[in-house]
Chain A
Amino acid sequence: MEFFNDIFGNLIMGFGVAVSLENLVYCFVGCLLGTLVGVLPGIGPVAAIALLLPTTFSLPPVGAMIMLAGIYYGAAYGGSTTAVLVNLPGESSSVVTCLDGHAMAKNGRAGHALAISAIGSFFAGTVCTLIIAFAAPPLAEVALKFGAPEYFSLMVFGLIASAVLARGSLMKALGMIVVGLLFGIIGTDVNSGMSRFTFGLPGLSDGIGFVVIAMAFFGLGEIIKNLETPNDERQVFTDKVSGLMPRWVDVKDSAGAIVRGTFIGGFFGTLPGTGPVVASFASYAIEKKVAKDNSQFGKGDIRGVAGPESANNAAAQTAFIPTLTLGIPGSGTMALMLGALMIQGIAPGPQVMTSRPDLFWGLIASMWVGNLMLVILNLPLIGMWVQLLKVPYRMLFPAILLFMCIGTYSLNNSIQDPLLMAFFGVVGYAFMKFGCEPAPMLLGFILGPLMEENLRRALLISRGDPTVFVTRPISLAFLVLAAASLLVVILPAVRKKRDEAFQGDE
């Protein structure tokens, strides 16, 4: 009981630090800027945060912190907005949002998708802020238990989960995962420093950026597909926009998905690097399995937006756990946030909780305020975003194209990235025409290099003994989960085939 009282006392102190009129204004401005920049197609959350960080440097530490929180959540939400509106995932964890979110937009339900995403994110953000307040240190201990074998098995599980979400043939989805893994190899090998699959191009030595591949397969491919009908009056988005505000029935339908997504994301988020992506894919796979009627998944099922969106916001929240308690950032975004905090003279790490409790609890309070501000700001903005879809497609698509060019150019300030995007756009279109879905490919692309790294590291540390993957309990658990999810897909298919075969005999 005393423990709870302490935490609540600390939280109240945190709010005392973070909440003042002045700080709320910083938070609002941060959220607004984050959303506006994050929503630009081609500018993913990482880029948005990097571009906006300098705005916080001149503020006092607490103000900077709370504005950063606003930028962080705003940018992430802005990225999801682009995914829903124009099918462009700005970061790995919004790939899944594209699937049903954009389908909903085409059906005239963009408003509902964005609203449920905001509501789900707020719920997830609130729960996970409490999780950080109550359980950050023990969760960080769990994250430290993850060595190379555990990461490898986790990624195997993630990849299998992504095959499960494919609509068409399982075999083709597996094929696309392998395609992604191969694309991911391009670049410099971590262990030996050797360049692989780079064709002698120096610009490929760091590999191809996620944004380039995602823009090519999702953005460019989608535009070409939409232009297939040579008709100026083509209707990509239906005219019948059914309401902007979330409907009660949507919230009721999604409640389960939001709660499940929150806990899945909250757990995976603590794992550096892989967390948010695996969380959003796993959440989608679970929703599709849990749903009584899953025929609408991929065609605009609101649960396919609510679950993964809650999961990735939950993960964005708990990603702070290793950063705050250990001082070790788990992702590029977290490294940026850590750098910004350091510049403010706040060095996150094991001591910050005891040495500067005001900053630690102030930051946690800021997170919640940031989440709250996001909902307050974004529910009214939904109407504006939906209006954008009324622009005739013949004017919209050149704009998207230009944003993609600028976005990819700005990654390294180099023309190589837009050129690569043009090339992979053709490849992506070809795959699309052959009925191969890009989502599993993208997950393979993200996890591929990490998978190889951890596989090699695991075997290096175990001196070549492959049994580490099954003798370590956490690793074994993920492999069992992976096998189980594969069986869940294969078994009904086999049974159906057998039934068909029997019917054929009769």
Chain B
Amino acid sequence: MSRTPARPRWPMRRAMMAALYAAGAWGATPTFAQLALKASPDGQAWPSRPLRMIVASAPGGPSDLLARLVGPALTDASGQPVVIDHRSGANGMIAGELTAKADADGHTFLLANAGFVINSVLYAKVPYDPIRDFAPISLAISVPNVLVVHPSVPAKSVADLVALARAKPGSIAVASAGTGSSGHLALALFQQLSGTEMIHVPFKGGGPALADVMGGQTQAIFSISVTSYPIIKSGRVRPLAVTSLKRLSAFPDLPAVAESAGFKGYEVTGWFGFVAPAKTPRSVVQRLNAAVVRAVQMPELQERLGNQGAELVGSTPEVFGTYLKAEQAKWAKVIRQGGIKPE
């Protein structure tokens, strides 16, 4: 799929192929040549059967896009089809548990997001340990939030917003994609660093939350950059700052929250990365890493995610492992200080 499909010569045939693809799984079975090559599956070689990419969120949205673009790259690298398995349940905890308990032979891995780590400090009962139960493969992309306000809010900068919130505590309602989402934590850390008090209004998902701010029902939101990019460009909301440590190339004029007084080191980004079960062989992790890194550098990804405020990373397993630990420590502190534990 990395190639833009050329104009088909035989439209009927293409359409029929599409039909057959759905009407039978023949599209997913290996071709004759591949079948002949891999006729003796002894279970030792990797890969000996189709790869299973578990995705911790529902189809649609940035993680699905990432999965669909990385999938073919993995197929090219391994010669095996990649089956994408969406398990969006329980804030991604079902996907995490499933991966943790899967065979550690490199055929099953998880496309995790920020919630993967946040869950482990937010909830009392989490069926996996994000550090101990997994072997990190690569941090694929990092998705900062953008702090935006409804145009009717008189604040033009982070400092204005803080002043406004200080003048009338509890007067600003801030929407979020849900309890424990990266936007919620961005708000919690924002309040802790500035000593302000705002009302957190959780939604079920980032889309409805952003729509509420666009309608002026709530005043502000820390919204995922990729989702809010087109809305910001249309001028329906006013961006104040990005939550990454540095400015983003997609919004060169927008300061980072960390540039404002009192917010030194402020950084809250969502991310998407790949992890495998803990005991996955080192060599297999390396091969998966290489495939992911190569996929992340594809121009399609830059075009569809990079230009809208996502940072394409593609880190090494070691760097990703350190990142996961740092994330866990950071959120444990914010959640404890903010009293965010669900009752």
Task: Tell me if chain B binds chain A.
Answer: yes
A-side interface residues toward B, CB under 8 Å?
A: 21-22, 25-26, 28-29, 32-33, 37, 50-60, 63, 67, 144-148, 188-194, 202-203, 205-206, 272-273, 322, 326-329, 332, 335-340, 342-343, 345, 347, 349-351, 412-413, 453, 457, 460-461, 463
Of A193, A194, A322, the most chain B CB neighbours within 10 A belong to A193
Count of B interface residues, CB-CB < 8 Å: 63
Q: CB-CB < 8 A to A332: which residues of B?
A: 58
Q: Of A37, A58, A147, A191, which is within 8 A of B179 by CB? A: A191
A57-B1, A336-B59 are known contacts. Are A342 and B19 too (CB-CB below 8 A)?
no
- Residues in chain B near residue A351, CB distance under 8 A: 230, 233-234
A186 to B225, CA, bound (A): 33
The residues of A that contact B207 with a CB separation of less than 8 Å are 328-329, 335
Q: Does A53 contact B59, Cβ atoms closer than 8 Å?
A: yes
Give a binary string over B205-220; 1 marks a CB under 8 Å from any A CB, 0 the rest.
0011011101111100
Chain B's closest residue to A150 (CB) is B217
Point out the residues of chain A lying under 8 angstroms from B18, CB to CB. 26, 29, 55-56, 58-59, 67
The SS class assigned to the A binding surface is: helix
Q: Is B39 an interface residue (CB 8 A)?
A: no
Contact of B230 among A37, A189, A192, A349 (CB under 8 A): A349
Most buried by A among B15, B19, B58: B15
B200 to chain A, nearest CB (A): 9
Residues of B within 8 A of A328 (CB): 207-208, 210-211
The answer to whether B15 touches A461, judged by C-beta atoms less than 8 angstroms apart, is no
6 pairs, CB–CB < 8 Å, chain A vs chain B:
A26-B11, A63-B14, A349-B231, A350-B236, A457-B203, A460-B173
Contact of A194 (CB < 8 Å), options: B68, B208, B342: B342
Q: How far is the CA of A335 from the CA of B88 in the complex (A)?
A: 14
Closest to A27 in B: B15
A205 x B343 contact (CB < 8 A):
no
A337 and B21 alpha carbons, distance in the complex (Å): 19
**Set of chain B residues within 8 Å of A144, measured between Cβ atoms:** 211, 214-216
B64 at interface by CB-CB < 8 Å = yes
CB-CB nearest in chain A for B127? A202
Q: How far is the CA of A412 from the CA of B180 in the complex (A)?
A: 23
What are the nearest 7 A-B pairs in CB distance? A339-B60, A349-B230, A193-B342, A350-B234, A22-B11, A147-B217, A144-B215
Contact A26 B15, beta carbon cutoff 8 Å:
yes
A335 contacts B60, CB within 8 Å? yes
CB atoms of B211 and A272 under 8 A apart = yes
Residue of B nearest to A20 (CB): B11
Q: How far is the CA of A347 from the CA of B237 in the complex (A)?
A: 18
B343: chain A residues at CB < 8 Å are 192, 194
- Min CB gap B67→A, angstroms: 10
Which residues of chain A are near B85, meaning CB under 8 Å? 413
B21 CB, nearest partner CB in chain A, Å: 5
A20 CB to nearest B CB, Å: 8
Residues in B neighbouring A463, C-beta threshold 8 A: 170, 199
- Decide if A59 touches B5 in the complex (CB within 8 Å): yes
